[in-house]
Structure 1
């Protein structure tokens, strides 16, 4: 049952230490054995001898089914990767003279983005001479930041960006 592989674990005949601390399948410490004795015990059980840690004296080895162990390690790594969430920047656009219903739709959209862990860029768009109503847009952005104050922190205060005014909200850190 000697396997050839290019993994980070040292198994079976690749273990070159004269004495090792042996742990069985159930996690019980069996004591200190010579590497050859431990290999024989593992082979008799139809399993592999895998070095778990070479930091201690003597190194720790375990008797396990290496294929199953490797499979479970890969499965855990996949699960951890699934649970990671990279925050991205989502955008919500509106005009300064937005109707109440449309405002609530944008508010819910921003809330959904924040709850999924994304940052939200709120943009108020101006056309032509509408830019003279900048105070109305600032009021609208202030209203939105107040409405979302339980879910978001202001990362960037409302500021002018060409013919737009933008504000960036970040999800609140959970305690």
Structure 2
């Protein structure tokens, strides 16, 4: 058991725990409410530390583990979480109220790809000059976009108009993305099987035609 007196820690450990009793998570996953002094003796007996992991619970929840190993695992989890947060970013696609169909489809496809990769998307309709009078077209465009992206995302609330920008945020829907990717894979596999069958059929016809020609040639020679 480590003596941590005078050391800063975001967790209360060993003699830093002053409550009369604690709920201890045991090694097999079971929980047991124990007097704090009893839990400390148990930790000392095992050569480990008593660490308070949920101070606001009643009674506080503790684990009996090696403090150094616990901090290492905690730091590892924190880094993984930060890595995931960093990997996800917000991408933006911009439209105008009079965006044509080709441009709309092109930008919607980009938004779809961003969402499939786990990024959020901000879709913005920019009103230049007097085009602000066409806000209805902007709302209609974003409704079309929401319908287009419904297989991979969901809007985070209604569209908002700020100044001359009308925007809405889309968050990736992981369940829908997985289902869509599974469907696309099945369709691709089916297409490949069909192409393979057609290729095999062509080869068979070529072989049959060649055998027929050879048979006719042998017949004429005889």
TM range (shorter): 0.5 to 0.7
Number of matched residues?
160
Higher RCO (CA-CA < 8 Å; seq separation 6+): 1
| 1:40-55 equivalent positions in 2, closer than 5 A | 40-52=41-53
SS at the partner of 1:105? helix
SS at the partner of 1:118? strand
CA distance in 1, matches of 2:47, 2:128: 70
Using the TM superposition, give the Cα deviation of residue 83 of structure 1 relative to its aligned residue in structure 2, in angstroms. 4.6
Counterpart check, 1:123 vs 2:126: yes
Contact 2:115/2:172, CA 8 A, preserved across alignment: no
CA distance in 2, matches of 1:97, 1:24: 62
Seen in structure 2, the aligned counterparts of structure 1 residues 125 and 109 have a Cα distance that, compared at 3 Å, is farther
Looking at secondary structure, tell me which structure has more strand per residue: 1
Q: Which runs of 5+ in 2 are unaligned?
A: 174-222
Seen in structure 2, the aligned counterparts of structure 1 residues 23 and 155 have a Cα distance that, compared at 3 Å, is closer
Root mean square deviation, CA, Å: 4.6
| 1:29-44 equivalent positions in 2, closer than 5 A | 29=31, 32-33=34-35, 35=37, 38-44=39-45
Using the TM superposition, give the Cα deviation of residue 102 of structure 1 relative to its aligned residue in structure 2, in angstroms. 3.6
| 1:1-175 equivalent positions in 2, closer than 5 A | 1-4=1-4, 5-16=7-18, 23-29=25-31, 32-33=34-35, 35=37, 38-52=39-53, 56=58, 61-84=62-85, 88=90, 90-93=92-95, 96=98, 100-112=101-113, 116-123=119-126, 141=138, 144-150=141-147, 151=149, 155-156=159-160, 161=164, 166-171=165-170
Q: Which runs of 5+ in 1 are unaligned?
A: none
1:12-32 deviation line (CA, Å, top 9, x unaligned): 233445666655333345664
SS at the partner of 2:71? helix
Looking at secondary structure, tell me which structure has more helix per residue: 2
Using the TM superposition, give the Cα deviation of residue 92 of structure 1 relative to its aligned residue in structure 2, in angstroms. 1.5
Seen in structure 2, the aligned counterparts of structure 1 residues 40 and 122 have a Cα distance that, compared at 3 Å, is same
User: How does the TM-score come out when normalised to structure 1?
Assistant: 0.57
CA distance in 2, matches of 1:17, 1:79: 32
Q: Which has more radius of gyration?
A: 2
CA distance in 1, matches of 2:143, 2:96: 17
Seen in structure 2, the aligned counterparts of structure 1 residues 112 and 123 have a Cα distance that, compared at 3 Å, is farther
